[in-house]
Amino acid sequence: MNSGERTGRTRAARWIIAAITLLAVLALPFAVEALAGRAWVRIMDIALLYAMLALGLNIVVGYAGLLDLGYVAFFAVGAYTYALLASPHFDIHLSFGLLIPLGALVAAIFGVVLGAPTLRLRGDYLAIVTLGFGAIIRIFINNLNQPVNITNGPQGVTLIDPLSIAGFPLSRTWSFAGLTIASVHSYYFVFLAGALAAMGLCARLQNSRIGRAWIAIREDEIAARAMGINTRNVKLLAFAMGATFGGTAGGLFASFQGFVSPESFTLYDSIMILCMVVLGGMGNIAGVVLGAVVLTALPEALRSVGPMQYAWFGRVLVDAADLRMLLFGLALVLMMLLRPAGILPSKTRRRELAAGREPADRRRPKRAPRGAA
Q: Express each pLDDT in 10-36 by its tens digit.
A: 778 888 888 888 888 888 998 988 888
3-state secondary structure of 174: strand
Half-sphere exposure of 27 (CA within 13 A, CB side): 8
For residue 312, pLDDT beyond 90:
no
Flag whether 368 is in a domain: no
Flag whether 364 is in a domain: no
Higher pLDDT: 362 or 210? It is: 210
For residue 62, pLDDT beyond 60:
yes
Flag whether 365 is in a domain: no
Flag whether 370 is in a domain: no
Flag whether 147 is in a domain: yes
Flag whether 60 is in a domain: yes
3-state secondary structure of 168: strand
What are the start-end ranges of the E strands in 144-223?
164-165, 168-169, 174-176, 179-181
CA distances from 165 to 96, 178, 299 (A): 9, 21, 33
pTM reported for the whole predicted model: 0.87
**Number of domains present in the structure of the chain:** 1
Per-residue model confidence as pLDDT tens digits over 271-307: 899 989 988 888 889 999 999 998 898 888 877 777 7
Q: What is the CATH number of the domain that holds 104?
A: 1.10.3470
Flag whether 2 is in a domain: no
Residue-number span of the structural domain to which 306 is assigned: 9-357
Give the whole-angstrom CA distance, residue 370 versus residue 98: 72
For residue 3, pLDDT beyond 90:
no
Q: Return the pLDDT at 353.
A: 65
Q: What is the mean pLDDT of the chain?
A: 85
Flag whether 262 is in a domain: yes
